[in-house]
Amino acid sequence: MRLLSPFLPVAVSLVLLSCSQSDPMEKRIDELIGQMTLGEKIAMIHAQSKFSAPGVPRLGVPELWTDDGPHGVRPETLWDEWSAAGWTNDSCTVYPALTALAATWDRSLSGLYGRSVGEEARYRRKNVLLGPGVNICRTPLCGRNFEYMGEDPFLAGQMAVPYIQGLQSNNVACCVKHYALNNQEFERSGINVNVDDRTLYEIYLPAFKTAVQEGEAWSIMSSYNRYENEYVSHNPRLLKDILKGEWAWDGAVISDWGAVHDTKGAATGGLDLEFGSHTNGVDVGASNAYDSYYMAAAYKKGIEDGTYSEEELNDKVRRVLRLNFRTQMGGNFGSMCSPEHYADARRIASEGIVLLQNKDGLLPLKGEGGKIVVLGENAIRPMAVGGSSSSLKAQKEVSPLEGIRAAFAGWNVVYERAYQGEPTVTGRYNYGLYDLTDPRSDRQLLSDALAAISDADYVIFVGGLNKNKMQDCEGRDRLDYHLPYGQEAVIEALSAARKDLIFINLSGSPVAMPFADKVGAILQGWYLGSEAGNALADVLSGAVNPSGKLPFTFPKELSDGPVKTERQYPGVQDENGRWQVYYDEGIYVGYRWYDSRDVEPQWPFGYGLSYTSFDYGKASASSKKMGKSLSFKIPVTNCGTVAGAEVVQLYVRDMEASVDRPFKELKAFEKVYLEPGQTKTVTLTIDRDALCFFDAAKHEWVAEPGDFQALIGSSSRDIRAVVDFRL
């Protein structure tokens, strides 16, 4: 059985290397297509192994190698199987999950993230990294929220663009996923999404549009679900009419693994490259099992007998060749697990941490020494593995306990478990299982924790979710909104003894915190990658002033949110037994719902505290009327004694419209770094597009003349300045 090997032969593609300015890429691609046989064309558009597609050896076109991201470069697998190949040189730097990146609200860090992970992918000879994910957090229960960038399409798109550009600067293609409407894992491989056009265009498509038009992403991954009762991998409306038509995108559509269901749909629906279909390549019994893919032998036969057009096949081949040219021509060599990459991961992680609560200035920790008690399973549980396809093989992973012990070396740092969750990691993508079994009963674990904290100077509970199934994990949604393993009762008991308890929540999704008013401080810690413990310790110690802001709303209870009925989630079965989900909330997703309906959340979108405070001055506009664009200026001052960063957010409100519109929508943001006492004037610019809604009847974006407001503040619920203007 062959192992997957991404390394190109020494005699690398002469055809690709011969392309120059005097021989433009498109002309060269046309020449190649003219020289290819039908069999060679067919071979290029489907897999030859779990993660690679063949080139054209006769013409010197190299193979195309993909790799699961988006948080790092996945370990090698066997040629035909999901099992790990068992290499010893395929460990990686694990970067923070994309929710943590989104929480930085920092475009420059997104670019750094993309460049850094791109260098690792380039070193491993990968052509396509499967990410970033920009699906919208519609419900906190979605198992893949941790892989996405929050609930707002503008934030997701803006944070995706620098990542894409940074990654592709290494000649590694982004494969932006999962296009489109993959907002739950329950029945993901067949559920049909029922959504109106306005909601589709205003909420679920904008981040993808930004990724391909501004980010110029070279590939996109189609999602598993159906839309308009057609699988997205062969959905002509999404793939041909919108993506390749309205958006004039010239990249390649790659199927998610096993997301293709028939030859006709794949041939005519807009798919370009098929992966992971109904064979593992070994036990089908054919001489080449990959010929049984939908876009393989059956497609070739259909072209030969006139069922399908070779012109449409040529378009697929052209797009795959274009992807090949773009990723095979670079001179970058890349690097793996370098000190610089760990520094990048640590910086991104620390700036993504969100300070949610800090009673009486409890944080940062103060003093020269004493006793710190660290509690909770997540203080010692590795988080790089698990999560299914995003599971990674970390060269190193610093746990929260290890990070705290290193940062507070002069302190007596004591650990107690306090509760026990699942002692092992679940899921077939794990690389190095570990056992965290504790022989003590739940009662004894809590009793030992209470005894330990009685004389502690600080008590830190590290809990939350993990990356096992039915938590933050591909293929399964969460069962409910509350913390698992009885953590809420444990925290209640601990906080009764210590009202200054510090709670660190590790999760990629919002969670219930009914105990919030009973603890002293709360940090949202996400899944922070290789440098998780060090990044958390940086914030706890004050070496880093927290500046993260929430990329989604934390409701007090799930029932407070817009998704309330069974038909909205998880869906209902129709008369044919097919699962249907209805987006009845329309455009009212996330803060759009809470702010427009005046429902008080636990923590609002865009929220995050600091160890300093920021004063907003009087805002002004470059004009009272919107032209092609309009700029707003507002002075922001650091009023505290430590340096810090503030994310200045601009929301637009349409004062009177012919259609129902949210109370406000995010349309600009900037992160500003300020020394103590320093003032900077922040400029936020919007254009007419920021005022538009999608008119489904006309199938066009409409900006109606009238009065608008720019609402500038520190979160969606903390507006510091209002400026009126008119279109």
Q: Give the N- to C-terminal CA distance of the chain in Å, as an integer.
A: 66
Whether 266 and 234 have beta carbons less than 8 Å apart is answered as: yes
> Which two structure tokens, joined as six digits, stand for 88?
């010893």
Distances (CA, A) of 41 to 24, 54, 65, 386, 646: 21, 10, 17, 37, 52
Whether 336 and 120 have beta carbons less than 8 Å apart is answered as: yes
- Three-state DSSP class for 559? helix
> CA quadruple 65, 69, 74, 78: dihedral positive or negative?
negative
> Which two structure tokens, joined as six digits, stand for 608?
């995050």
> CA quadruple 94, 99, 105, 107: dihedral positive or negative?
positive
| Catalytic member of 256, 344, 472, 477 | 256
Instruction: For tokens 């052509």, name the residue.
Output: 127
One CATH from 3.20.20.300, 3.40.718.10, 3.40.50.720, 2.60.40.1180 for 14-78+90-328: 3.20.20.300
What amino acid is encoded at 162 in this protein? P
Q: What is the pTM of this model?
A: 0.95
Q: Which of 133, 211, 225, 235 is nearest to 177 (CA)?
A: 133
Q: How far apart are CA 418 and CA 487, in angstroms?
A: 9
Helix (H) or strand (E) holding 16: helix 14-17
> Which two structure tokens, joined as six digits, stand for 715?
């979160």
Active-site residue flag, 256: yes
Q: How far apart are CA 109 and CA 335, in angstroms?
A: 19
> Which two structure tokens, joined as six digits, stand for 250?
């010239």
- Three-state DSSP class for 413? strand
Distances (CA, A) of 37 to 40, 41, 59, 212, 275: 5, 6, 11, 31, 22
pLDDT of residue 286: 54
pLDDT of residue 15: 47
Q: Is the peptide bond before 178 cis (omega within 30 degrees of 0)?
A: yes
pLDDT of residue 17: 43
Helix (H) or strand (E) holding 686: strand 679-687
Q: How far apart are CA 297 and CA 291, in angstroms?
A: 5
Domains of the chain by residue range: 14-78+90-328, 353-544, 611-726
Residue ranges, the chain, pLDDT below 70:
1-23, 279-288, 331, 426-433
> Which two structure tokens, joined as six digits, stand for 559?
């029932």
CATH class of 353-544: alpha beta
One CATH from 2.40.50.140, 2.60.40.10, 3.20.20.70, 2.50.20.10 for 611-726: 2.60.40.10
pLDDT of residue 288: 67
Q: How far apart are CA 552 and CA 436, in angstroms?
A: 31
Helices (H) and strands (E) in the chain, counts: 18, 27
